[in-house]
Copies of this chain bind each other. A is one copy, B any other.
């Protein structure tokens, strides 16, 4: 007798690096699928993701067993499983706070939509930006933020405001019920327990590179 579930193990706590890698596997598999491949081995997946085959198998093993011994993984099935694991079997409404250079660029980024995220609102304090359209969504005044969050119920906010305004923006979206935030402002933010904040910080990325270049004596 076979069982029905495709994701058996009762998931405990998964390390963030693992989740990041899963996302990377998914990205690669989508391209691999388009190229017409039917199956893939943990070794191939590892090479593409810059890791090892054992790591790939261990990452997946936290959530179930998805492969066939001797064969590898069915590409389409693994894509579906990863989507489910990452919570991408629903679409996620997102608000963008700040319609400056970065906010505008993000709003127009197509990959947003194709990966399961819908921009349902963009907000700015600058009256000259309010009312303009970005990729089909009209920029609204920041005073509409709380009301819109209540009615549109986005689960994720992307902050693209200047550093000085970032903490205030975070406090507002959190106050309105948002519990997951992606912060593009170059400031580290303090959030209450239960709110996940991820930061994308240009300066930090460049500094990590500068450090690597300065210390290239690691063999």
* A contact set with B: CB distance below 8 Å: 11, 13-14, 16, 19-20, 23-24, 26-28, 31, 47-50, 85-88, 92, 94, 101-102, 104-106, 108-109, 111-112, 115-117, 155-156, 163, 179-182, 186-188, 190, 194, 196, 198, 200-216, 218
Say how many copies of this protein the assembly contains: 2
Question: Distance in Å from the Cβ of A165 to the closest Cβ of chain B?
Answer: 13
CB-based nearest B residue for A108: B101
Contact B186–A86 (Cβ < 8 Å): no
Contacts of A109 in B (CB 8 A): 101-102, 202
* Alpha-carbon gap, A163 to B114, bound state (A): 14
- CB pair A23 B207 closer than 8 Å: yes
Instruction: Determine whether the beta carbon of A180 is less than 8 Å from that of B20.
Output: no
CB distance from A174 to the nearest CB of B (A): 14
Find out whether the CB atom of B28 lies under 8 angstroms from the CB atom of A206: no
Residues of B within 8 A of A31 (CB): 163, 187
- Minimum CB–CB distance from A185 to chain B (whole Å) comes to 10
Complex Cα gap A104–B111 (Å): 18
Tell me which residues across on chain B come within 8 A of A92, comparing CB atoms: 206, 210, 213
